Amino acid sequence: MNENLIDYDKIVEDALRVVVKKSLEIINENGIPGDHHFFISFDSTYKGIKVPNELKSSEDNEIKIILQHQFWNLKIDDIKFSVTLSFNGQKKDIIVPFNSIVSFSDPSVGFSLQFKKNSVKEGSFKERINQPEDSIKNTKQKNKAEVLSLDAFRPKKKD
């Protein structure tokens, strides 16, 4: 079997993260319809996370938030979302990169997604496809094909 040079698992994970992004965009534009609510768990050690210190635990690097009734200032871009939540009666801003998310669910309809924990080094799909042109050229140079003549393998014609 050939070496898998196309990381299909990562491509699928990136596509599923778009589901999270689109779901947040829908509630941002229209509010949360019906009984929908989101449980979002993320890795608190991921680069770019901003959460209040009182939410960070020395035992577990995973934080779970719920978006249902009391959230404000939801903002979404290509790589992260930010939101204001109420913790012990105080409003606090948090920032969550999409690649830090380890699970997303809407229990009201039995929908959930699980993600592998990303390392900071992997980068997002957007970062990988926007790599510098020099990097792409170097990859192409390494993968140059050679043209072989098939004449040596063909039967010789008799005159």
Distance CA 35, CA 109 (A): 9
pLDDT digits (tens, 9 = 90+) for 44-84: 999 999 998 877 776 778 999 999 988 999 999 999 999 99
> Which structural domains are found in the chain, ordered by start?
8-122 (2.30.30.220)
Do 78 and 24 form a contact (C-beta atoms < 8 A)? Answer: no
pLDDT-based confidence at residue 128 (cuts at 50, 70, 90): very low
Distance CA 149, CA 60 (A): 61
pLDDT-based confidence at residue 151 (cuts at 50, 70, 90): low
